Amino acid sequence: MGGKILTSILLLVLGVMVKQDYGSFVVSKENCRCYDKCESCCYFDFESLKQLIVDEACSISSSGLIKSPIFNKGSRLEYLNMSNNNLECLPKSIQKLRSTNIDISNNSLVCNCSNLWLGEWFRSKPNIKYRSLLTCSVSGNQDKIKIQDFQKGEHDCEVINSTLISIVLGIFGILLIVSIICFIYFRYELLTLYYIYIKSRLRRTRTIKNESETYDICVLLNETNDSDRLWVRNHLIRYFEENTMKSYIPYRDGVIGEVTSDAIITNMNNSSTVLAVVSSSFFANPLNIFNLEAAYHQKIRNGNGKLILIKLGQDCLPYGSNGYIRAMFRLKRFIHADNQKLMSKLTSQIQLQPKYKSRTVSVTSEDILWF
């Protein structure tokens, strides 16, 4: 403890001696290491210092110079000599030495975008020794230029920044245009996925008993095509009977004299699931396309049940239909008729009605407030 007190007293006395007896200070080879680390500078009175000379044998580094308190406290400094050292840059705080005569000749100064102020400072400060002869090397270039001539145009800093900004904005613009094009081209696919996976989960359902007759399944098919009707009879009707599903098939359950299209739309609304058996001949009939589009809007877009597509044949393409139906085909939202697991896939996708007569009505969160 006594040793620490004695050391502090000695440092204080030494500081007073330096303040009173020395108007100049030489950073020599013996003490430059301390100066470079700002250890011996801590107790030195820079406010009263008039001259500071950095001996050329010292080769003080730029990092040590930037850390030096001389530029913040040396307000009375009349002469500063840092010539013949390894300085690549100067601290910006050196500009505070407005009336100081400065010698920074024979250094390795570099002019770049981080010290654009250097050229303007040289031009505005006449008391720099050899000011008109001092040069600096431009980053990435072996040629040297006079420091007092160094300005923005010499290094094209703004050009580099503007070029970089232009590149970033260009990439962003290209990505934005590509995103817009993709959204326009795939808008029906994106909307279909939204209706199926997002909108359907945001809705709530409630079951209301109804005395009117309802169906589990409403089948859409091309009634004028014998092969389509035969496939429905051999595969679907037997499946419905085995699973006790109440189904509506237009050619079997239609009433003589009623408008077929109106009956199909009505029974689609009264069914929890619409099963469309589509073939190449199905899309040749505009009435079939109309009914299928109505089923899409009722079951998928409005969320009032399910729409299942069974594709007959490989050449079945949704020509003449709207973008939503084509999107379901592009998204592979159908079951191949020749799939060996056809019936198990139907069972997993069909939304069965309760055993009592009822209908499922989709309601939003606002409707719940009325209960």
Is residue 183 a contact partner of residue 190, using CB atoms and an 8 Å limit? Answer: yes
Question: CB neighbours of 104 closer than 8 A, spacing ≥ 6?
Answer: 82, 83, 87, 90, 128, 129, 134
pLDDT given at position 179:
95
Indicate the range of 26-30, 175-179, 273-277, 321-325 predicted with least confidence: 26-30
Q: Is the pLDDT of residue 3 over 50?
A: no
pLDDT given at position 57:
59
How many helices (H) and strands (E) are present in the chain, helices listed first?
17, 14
Which among 370, 371, 361, 369 has a CA at the least distance from the CA of 206? 361
Check residue 128 and report its DSSP letter. B
Across residues 325-338, what is the average pLDDT? 91
pLDDT given at position 259:
72
Indicate the range of 178-192, 271-285, 315-329 predicted with least confidence: 315-329
Across residues 317-335, what is the average pLDDT? 86
| Segment of 12-21, 67-76, 104-113, 356-365 carrying the highest mean pLDDT | 104-113
Structure tokens at 341: 């697991």
Helices 286-295, 260-269: inter-axial angle, 10-degree rounding: 20
Task: Compute the mean pLDDT over every residue in the chain, rounded to the nearest whole number.
Answer: 76
Check residue 95 and report its DSSP letter. G
Structure tokens at 214: 């309802």
> Measured between alpha carbons, how far is 110 from 321 in angstroms, rounded to an integer?
70
pLDDT given at position 36:
47
Across residues 145-168, what is the average pLDDT? 73
pLDDT given at position 296:
94
DSSP state string for 246-306? -EE-HHHHPPTTS-HHHHHHHHHHTEEEEEEEE-TTGGGSHHHHHHHHHHIIIIIIS-SSE
> Measured between alpha carbons, how far is 351 from 355 in angstroms, rounded to an integer?
13
Helices 323-330, 286-295: inter-axial angle, 10-degree rounding: 80
Regarding pTM above 0.75, the answer is: no
In degrees and rounded to multiples of 5, residue 358 shows phi and psi of: -160, 170
Q: Which residues of 174-203 are buried (b: 16+ CB within 10 A; e: fewer)?
A: eeeeeeeeeeeebebbebbeebbeeeeeee
Q: Is the pLDDT of residue 313 over 50?
A: yes
CA angle at 248 for the pair 326 and 271, rounded to the nearest 5° = 70
